Amino acid sequence: MSSHARDAPAVTELRIHFTAEDLARTRLATTADPLWEVLLSHFRLADPDRPAHLQPWTARLRARPDLLARMRPAAALLAGIAPRGPHVPDFLTPAESADGLDAGLDAILRHEPERLHPGAGAESRFGTSRTCLTSALRDYHHAAVGSHDDLILPGVEADVAARVGALLTGGVEALFRGFEPMMRWRRPVLEVRYPVERDLHLRGRGLRFVPSFFCSGTPVSLADPDLPPVLVYPIAPEHHWGTATRTDPGESLADLMGTTRANVLAALRHSASTTQLAPRLHTSLASMSRHTKTLRQAGLITSTRRGPPSCTTSLRSAAGSSTADPRISARSGGCGPRTRAGPAGSRSRGSPASSTRRSASRRRPTATA
Protein backbone atom coordinates (compact mmCIF):
# COMPACT_ATOMS: atom_id res chain seq x y z
CA MET A 1 0.00 0.00 0.00
CA SER A 2 1.36 3.38 -0.96
CA SER A 3 2.16 6.19 1.43
CA HIS A 4 -1.12 7.89 0.61
CA ALA A 5 -2.53 5.70 3.39
CA ARG A 6 -1.39 8.62 5.53
CA ASP A 7 -3.32 10.88 3.16
CA ALA A 8 -0.59 13.41 2.39
CA PRO A 9 -1.68 16.36 0.24
CA ALA A 10 -2.10 15.12 -3.34
CA VAL A 11 -0.16 16.94 -6.05
CA THR A 12 0.05 14.06 -8.52
CA GLU A 13 -2.29 11.42 -9.87
CA LEU A 14 -3.01 7.75 -9.97
CA ARG A 15 -4.27 6.99 -13.47
CA ILE A 16 -6.44 3.86 -13.58
CA HIS A 17 -6.82 2.49 -17.11
CA PHE A 18 -10.10 0.73 -17.93
CA THR A 19 -11.14 -1.52 -20.77
CA ALA A 20 -14.78 -2.34 -21.59
CA GLU A 21 -14.33 -5.55 -19.60
CA ASP A 22 -13.01 -3.60 -16.62
CA LEU A 23 -16.05 -1.31 -16.64
CA ALA A 24 -18.31 -4.37 -16.62
CA ARG A 25 -16.40 -5.83 -13.66
CA THR A 26 -16.23 -2.67 -11.56
CA ARG A 27 -18.12 -3.03 -8.28
CA LEU A 28 -18.95 -1.07 -5.16
CA ALA A 29 -18.57 -2.64 -1.71
CA THR A 30 -21.59 -2.05 0.53
CA THR A 31 -19.58 -2.01 3.77
CA ALA A 32 -16.21 -0.80 4.95
CA ASP A 33 -13.38 -3.34 4.88
CA PRO A 34 -12.42 -4.35 8.45
CA LEU A 35 -8.65 -4.54 7.93
CA TRP A 36 -8.47 -1.33 5.93
CA GLU A 37 -10.36 0.35 8.79
CA VAL A 38 -7.88 -1.08 11.30
CA LEU A 39 -4.93 0.31 9.40
CA LEU A 40 -6.49 3.68 8.55
CA SER A 41 -7.77 4.26 12.09
CA HIS A 42 -4.25 3.57 13.33
CA PHE A 43 -2.96 6.29 11.00
CA ARG A 44 -5.68 8.71 12.05
CA LEU A 45 -4.67 8.39 15.69
CA ALA A 46 -1.19 9.55 14.69
CA ASP A 47 -2.48 12.58 12.77
CA PRO A 48 -1.74 15.89 14.51
CA ASP A 49 -4.94 17.42 13.08
CA ARG A 50 -7.71 14.86 12.93
CA PRO A 51 -10.89 15.45 10.92
CA ALA A 52 -13.77 16.87 12.95
CA HIS A 53 -15.97 13.84 12.36
CA LEU A 54 -13.53 11.70 14.35
CA GLN A 55 -13.92 13.74 17.54
CA PRO A 56 -16.75 11.60 18.98
CA TRP A 57 -14.68 8.50 18.27
CA THR A 58 -11.50 9.81 19.90
CA ALA A 59 -13.49 11.16 22.85
CA ARG A 60 -15.03 7.74 23.41
CA LEU A 61 -11.61 6.09 23.27
CA ARG A 62 -10.24 8.54 25.85
CA ALA A 63 -13.13 7.67 28.12
CA ARG A 64 -12.56 3.92 27.73
CA PRO A 65 -9.12 2.89 29.03
CA ASP A 66 -10.14 -0.75 28.57
CA LEU A 67 -10.46 -0.20 24.81
CA LEU A 68 -7.17 1.65 24.62
CA ALA A 69 -5.46 -1.23 26.43
CA ARG A 70 -6.75 -3.71 23.83
CA MET A 71 -5.47 -1.48 21.02
CA ARG A 72 -1.91 -1.05 22.27
CA PRO A 73 -0.35 -4.38 21.19
CA ALA A 74 -1.46 -3.99 17.57
CA ALA A 75 -0.59 -0.29 17.57
CA ALA A 76 2.95 -1.16 18.67
CA LEU A 77 3.25 -3.85 15.98
CA LEU A 78 1.86 -1.60 13.27
CA ALA A 79 4.32 1.12 14.22
CA GLY A 80 7.08 -1.34 13.29
CA ILE A 81 5.42 -2.99 10.29
CA ALA A 82 3.98 0.16 8.77
CA PRO A 83 6.19 3.11 9.75
CA ARG A 84 5.90 6.41 7.98
CA GLY A 85 7.61 5.97 4.64
CA PRO A 86 6.94 5.44 0.96
CA HIS A 87 5.06 2.13 1.27
CA VAL A 88 3.09 -0.08 3.63
CA PRO A 89 3.05 -3.87 3.12
CA ASP A 90 0.01 -4.98 1.14
CA PHE A 91 -0.33 -8.20 3.14
CA LEU A 92 -1.95 -6.20 5.96
CA THR A 93 -5.03 -5.58 3.80
CA PRO A 94 -5.68 -8.79 1.82
CA ALA A 95 -8.55 -9.02 -0.65
CA GLU A 96 -10.11 -11.74 1.49
CA SER A 97 -11.05 -9.22 4.18
CA ALA A 98 -13.90 -8.17 1.88
CA ASP A 99 -15.58 -11.30 3.27
CA GLY A 100 -15.10 -10.20 6.88
CA LEU A 101 -12.49 -9.89 9.59
CA ASP A 102 -12.00 -13.63 10.08
CA ALA A 103 -11.37 -14.21 6.37
CA GLY A 104 -8.89 -11.34 6.27
CA LEU A 105 -6.97 -12.54 9.31
CA ASP A 106 -6.83 -16.07 7.91
CA ALA A 107 -5.31 -14.64 4.72
CA ILE A 108 -2.62 -12.88 6.77
CA LEU A 109 -1.82 -16.19 8.46
CA ARG A 110 -1.43 -17.83 5.04
CA HIS A 111 0.59 -14.93 3.64
CA GLU A 112 3.80 -15.75 1.81
CA PRO A 113 6.65 -13.35 2.70
CA GLU A 114 7.67 -12.82 -0.91
CA ARG A 115 4.30 -11.20 -1.57
CA LEU A 116 5.31 -8.19 0.52
CA HIS A 117 6.41 -6.45 -2.70
CA PRO A 118 7.53 -2.85 -1.90
CA GLY A 119 7.34 -3.49 1.82
CA ALA A 120 9.82 -6.37 1.63
CA GLY A 121 11.56 -6.97 4.91
CA ALA A 122 8.56 -5.88 6.98
CA GLU A 123 8.14 -9.25 8.65
CA SER A 124 11.74 -9.26 9.79
CA ARG A 125 11.23 -5.75 11.16
CA PHE A 126 8.38 -6.64 13.46
CA GLY A 127 10.01 -9.85 14.66
CA THR A 128 6.89 -11.64 15.88
CA SER A 129 4.72 -14.48 14.63
CA ARG A 130 1.80 -13.92 12.31
CA THR A 131 -0.38 -15.63 14.92
CA CYS A 132 0.52 -12.92 17.44
CA LEU A 133 -0.08 -10.28 14.81
CA THR A 134 -3.53 -11.52 13.83
CA SER A 135 -4.54 -11.88 17.49
CA ALA A 136 -3.46 -8.29 18.14
CA LEU A 137 -5.26 -7.05 15.03
CA ARG A 138 -8.45 -8.79 16.13
CA ASP A 139 -8.30 -7.10 19.52
CA TYR A 140 -7.55 -3.75 17.90
CA HIS A 141 -10.50 -4.10 15.54
CA HIS A 142 -12.86 -4.89 18.39
CA ALA A 143 -11.68 -1.91 20.44
CA ALA A 144 -11.15 0.72 17.74
CA VAL A 145 -13.69 -0.23 15.06
CA GLY A 146 -16.20 -2.86 16.05
CA SER A 147 -17.20 -1.22 19.33
CA HIS A 148 -18.18 1.97 17.49
CA ASP A 149 -20.58 0.73 14.83
CA ASP A 150 -23.11 3.32 15.97
CA LEU A 151 -20.64 6.06 15.00
CA ILE A 152 -19.27 4.44 11.86
CA LEU A 153 -22.12 2.63 10.13
CA PRO A 154 -24.59 5.52 9.56
CA GLY A 155 -22.11 7.55 7.55
CA VAL A 156 -20.85 4.57 5.54
CA GLU A 157 -24.40 3.39 4.85
CA ALA A 158 -25.49 6.87 3.72
CA ASP A 159 -22.52 7.19 1.38
CA VAL A 160 -23.09 3.75 -0.14
CA ALA A 161 -26.80 4.49 -0.58
CA ALA A 162 -26.05 7.66 -2.53
CA ARG A 163 -23.51 5.92 -4.76
CA VAL A 164 -25.75 2.91 -5.35
CA GLY A 165 -28.41 5.36 -6.52
CA ALA A 166 -25.97 6.91 -9.00
CA LEU A 167 -24.87 3.47 -10.20
CA LEU A 168 -28.44 2.24 -10.72
CA THR A 169 -29.64 5.34 -12.54
CA GLY A 170 -26.56 6.26 -14.57
CA GLY A 171 -24.26 3.25 -14.66
CA VAL A 172 -20.57 2.98 -13.83
CA GLU A 173 -19.64 6.31 -15.40
CA ALA A 174 -22.20 8.09 -13.20
CA LEU A 175 -20.61 6.37 -10.23
CA PHE A 176 -17.22 7.75 -11.30
CA ARG A 177 -18.58 11.28 -11.75
CA GLY A 178 -20.00 11.15 -8.24
CA PHE A 179 -16.46 11.04 -6.84
CA GLU A 180 -15.50 14.47 -8.24
CA PRO A 181 -13.36 16.42 -7.38
CA MET A 182 -11.44 13.60 -5.69
CA MET A 183 -11.46 11.69 -8.98
CA ARG A 184 -12.06 12.65 -12.59
CA TRP A 185 -13.30 10.34 -15.32
CA ARG A 186 -11.73 10.86 -18.74
CA ARG A 187 -12.66 7.77 -20.69
CA PRO A 188 -10.95 5.32 -20.54
CA VAL A 189 -8.90 6.64 -17.61
CA LEU A 190 -9.99 7.44 -14.05
CA GLU A 191 -7.66 10.13 -12.70
CA VAL A 192 -7.40 9.96 -8.92
CA ARG A 193 -5.83 12.58 -6.67
CA TYR A 194 -2.83 10.78 -5.28
CA PRO A 195 0.54 11.74 -3.77
CA VAL A 196 2.52 9.39 -6.03
CA GLU A 197 2.62 9.59 -9.83
CA ARG A 198 1.45 6.20 -10.99
CA ASP A 199 -0.47 4.23 -13.64
CA LEU A 200 -2.56 1.16 -12.90
CA HIS A 201 -3.72 -1.02 -15.81
CA LEU A 202 -6.65 -3.18 -14.72
CA ARG A 203 -6.26 -5.69 -17.57
CA GLY A 204 -9.81 -7.02 -17.40
CA ARG A 205 -9.86 -7.51 -13.61
CA GLY A 206 -12.17 -4.61 -12.86
CA LEU A 207 -11.92 -2.36 -9.81
CA ARG A 208 -13.49 -2.66 -6.36
CA PHE A 209 -14.44 0.60 -4.65
CA VAL A 210 -14.51 0.38 -0.85
CA PRO A 211 -15.98 3.10 1.42
CA SER A 212 -14.02 4.05 4.53
CA PHE A 213 -14.91 6.02 7.64
CA PHE A 214 -11.25 6.49 8.56
CA CYS A 215 -9.77 7.30 5.16
CA SER A 216 -9.15 11.03 4.90
CA GLY A 217 -8.02 13.23 2.04
CA THR A 218 -7.07 11.02 -0.90
CA PRO A 219 -8.09 7.43 -1.71
CA VAL A 220 -5.94 4.44 -0.80
CA SER A 221 -4.77 1.61 -3.04
CA LEU A 222 -2.33 -1.29 -3.04
CA ALA A 223 1.28 -0.95 -4.10
CA ASP A 224 1.46 -4.27 -5.96
CA PRO A 225 -0.24 -3.93 -9.38
CA ASP A 226 -0.65 -7.69 -9.62
CA LEU A 227 -2.95 -7.91 -6.59
CA PRO A 228 -6.74 -7.64 -7.05
CA PRO A 229 -7.32 -3.93 -7.78
CA VAL A 230 -9.01 -1.97 -5.02
CA LEU A 231 -9.57 1.71 -4.31
CA VAL A 232 -10.52 2.64 -0.76
CA TYR A 233 -12.11 6.08 -0.66
CA PRO A 234 -13.16 8.48 2.13
CA ILE A 235 -16.91 8.77 2.43
CA ALA A 236 -18.32 12.14 1.39
CA PRO A 237 -18.15 14.90 4.05
CA GLU A 238 -21.93 15.35 4.09
CA HIS A 239 -22.31 11.78 5.29
CA HIS A 240 -20.19 12.44 8.36
CA TRP A 241 -22.59 15.02 9.80
CA GLY A 242 -24.50 12.61 12.00
CA THR A 243 -21.43 11.38 13.85
CA ALA A 244 -19.70 14.76 13.99
CA THR A 245 -22.52 16.89 15.36
CA ARG A 246 -25.12 14.82 17.12
CA THR A 247 -25.40 13.89 20.76
CA ASP A 248 -25.50 10.12 20.56
CA PRO A 249 -28.95 8.87 21.67
CA GLY A 250 -27.61 5.33 21.56
CA GLU A 251 -25.46 5.97 24.63
CA SER A 252 -28.53 6.44 26.83
CA LEU A 253 -30.08 3.32 25.35
CA ALA A 254 -26.85 1.41 25.99
CA ASP A 255 -26.86 2.57 29.61
CA LEU A 256 -30.40 1.24 29.95
CA MET A 257 -30.12 -2.17 28.30
CA GLY A 258 -26.44 -2.77 27.62
CA THR A 259 -24.23 -1.98 24.63
CA THR A 260 -24.80 -5.19 22.66
CA ARG A 261 -28.61 -5.08 22.85
CA ALA A 262 -28.62 -1.39 21.99
CA ASN A 263 -26.44 -2.19 18.97
CA VAL A 264 -28.81 -5.01 17.96
CA LEU A 265 -31.70 -2.53 17.91
CA ALA A 266 -29.65 -0.09 15.85
CA ALA A 267 -28.57 -2.82 13.43
CA LEU A 268 -32.17 -3.94 12.88
CA ARG A 269 -33.01 -0.79 10.99
CA HIS A 270 -32.42 -3.13 8.04
CA SER A 271 -33.14 -6.82 7.49
CA ALA A 272 -30.59 -9.16 9.02
CA SER A 273 -30.43 -12.71 10.33
CA THR A 274 -28.96 -13.67 13.67
CA THR A 275 -26.15 -15.34 11.75
CA GLN A 276 -25.54 -12.01 10.00
CA LEU A 277 -25.87 -9.94 13.18
CA ALA A 278 -23.44 -12.04 15.22
CA PRO A 279 -20.28 -11.31 13.16
CA ARG A 280 -21.41 -7.77 12.45
CA LEU A 281 -21.66 -7.03 16.18
CA HIS A 282 -18.64 -9.21 17.02
CA THR A 283 -20.39 -11.72 19.26
CA SER A 284 -21.15 -15.43 19.09
CA LEU A 285 -24.27 -16.84 17.45
CA ALA A 286 -25.41 -18.29 20.80
CA SER A 287 -25.00 -14.91 22.50
CA MET A 288 -26.86 -13.15 19.69
CA SER A 289 -29.73 -15.62 19.98
CA ARG A 290 -30.00 -14.87 23.70
CA HIS A 291 -30.01 -11.11 23.09
CA THR A 292 -32.69 -11.31 20.39
CA LYS A 293 -34.78 -13.56 22.61
CA THR A 294 -34.62 -11.01 25.43
CA LEU A 295 -35.54 -8.14 23.08
CA ARG A 296 -38.40 -10.18 21.66
CA GLN A 297 -39.73 -10.96 25.12
CA ALA A 298 -39.55 -7.26 25.96
CA GLY A 299 -41.69 -6.47 22.94
CA LEU A 300 -38.96 -4.54 21.14
CA ILE A 301 -38.70 -6.97 18.22
CA THR A 302 -41.13 -9.48 16.78
CA SER A 303 -40.49 -12.74 14.91
CA THR A 304 -42.39 -14.02 11.89
CA ARG A 305 -41.41 -17.51 10.76
CA ARG A 306 -40.91 -17.94 7.03
CA GLY A 307 -40.66 -21.67 7.08
CA PRO A 308 -38.05 -23.94 8.61
CA PRO A 309 -35.40 -23.39 9.66
CA SER A 310 -35.49 -19.58 9.52
CA CYS A 311 -37.82 -16.88 10.71
CA THR A 312 -38.03 -13.14 10.17
CA THR A 313 -37.79 -10.64 13.02
CA SER A 314 -39.24 -7.13 12.77
CA LEU A 315 -38.00 -4.35 14.99
CA ARG A 316 -40.90 -2.34 16.44
CA SER A 317 -41.65 0.05 19.28
CA ALA A 318 -43.65 -0.92 22.34
CA ALA A 319 -46.65 0.76 20.69
CA GLY A 320 -46.29 -1.51 17.68
CA SER A 321 -44.93 0.96 15.15
CA SER A 322 -41.44 0.60 13.77
CA THR A 323 -38.73 2.26 15.75
CA ALA A 324 -37.03 4.83 13.59
CA ASP A 325 -33.79 6.70 13.52
CA PRO A 326 -34.72 10.26 12.47
CA ARG A 327 -31.51 10.47 10.44
CA ILE A 328 -32.58 7.72 8.03
CA SER A 329 -35.28 9.71 6.23
CA ALA A 330 -32.89 12.62 5.77
CA ARG A 331 -30.23 10.62 3.99
CA SER A 332 -31.12 8.97 0.72
CA GLY A 333 -34.83 8.45 0.32
CA GLY A 334 -34.66 5.22 2.26
CA CYS A 335 -32.16 3.53 -0.06
CA GLY A 336 -29.78 1.57 2.18
CA PRO A 337 -26.59 -0.33 1.47
CA ARG A 338 -28.47 -3.57 1.01
CA THR A 339 -30.47 -2.20 -1.91
CA ARG A 340 -29.47 -4.48 -4.77
CA ALA A 341 -32.31 -4.09 -7.25
CA GLY A 342 -34.52 -1.21 -8.29
CA PRO A 343 -33.85 2.51 -8.06
CA ALA A 344 -32.71 4.22 -4.91
CA GLY A 345 -35.52 4.54 -2.42
CA SER A 346 -37.61 1.65 -3.86
CA ARG A 347 -39.05 -0.65 -1.24
CA SER A 348 -41.77 -2.71 -2.87
CA ARG A 349 -42.89 -4.05 -6.21
CA GLY A 350 -45.70 -2.70 -8.34
CA SER A 351 -47.03 0.83 -8.37
CA PRO A 352 -45.03 2.85 -5.82
CA ALA A 353 -48.01 4.78 -4.52
CA SER A 354 -50.49 1.91 -4.28
CA SER A 355 -47.91 -0.61 -3.02
CA THR A 356 -46.80 1.77 -0.31
CA ARG A 357 -50.35 2.25 0.95
CA ARG A 358 -51.22 -1.43 0.83
CA SER A 359 -48.11 -2.69 2.59
CA ALA A 360 -47.27 0.13 5.00
CA SER A 361 -47.92 -2.07 7.99
CA ARG A 362 -45.77 -4.86 6.61
CA ARG A 363 -42.59 -2.88 5.86
CA ARG A 364 -41.01 -2.51 9.24
CA PRO A 365 -37.26 -3.27 9.33
CA THR A 366 -36.80 -7.01 9.56
CA ALA A 367 -34.21 -9.46 10.74
CA THR A 368 -34.06 -13.17 10.10
CA ALA A 369 -33.47 -15.13 13.28
Higher pLDDT, 103 or 314: 103
Do β-strands 311-315 and 301-305 pair in parallel, antiparallel, or remain unpaired? antiparallel
pLDDT in tens, 270-327: 667 777 777 767 678 888 888 888 887 766 776 665 554 444 444 433 333 333 332 2
pTM of the model as a whole? 0.65
Q: What average pLDDT does the segment 350-361 reach?
A: 37
Residue ranges of the chain that CATH labels 1.10.10? 250-345+356-368
% of the chain surpassing 70 pLDDT: 66
CB atoms within 10 A of CB 321: 10
| 44, β-bridge pairs | none
Q: What average pLDDT does the segment 74-85 reach?
A: 84
Q: What average pLDDT does the segment 262-273 reach?
A: 70
Confirm if 25 and 16 have CB atoms less than 8 A apart.
no
Pick 250-345+356-368's CATH classification: 1.10.3470, 1.10.10, 1.10.150, 1.10.238: 1.10.10
The answer, yes or no, to whether residue 139 has pLDDT greater than 80, is yes
The answer, yes or no, to whether residue 230 has pLDDT greater than 60, is yes
Q: What average pLDDT does the segment 142-170 reach?
A: 93
pLDDT given at position 88: 78
Confirm if 212 and 36 have CB atoms less than 8 A apart.
yes
pLDDT given at position 10: 40
Q: What average pLDDT does the segment 30-36 reach?
A: 96
Q: What average pLDDT does the segment 166-186 reach?
A: 94
pLDDT given at position 299: 66
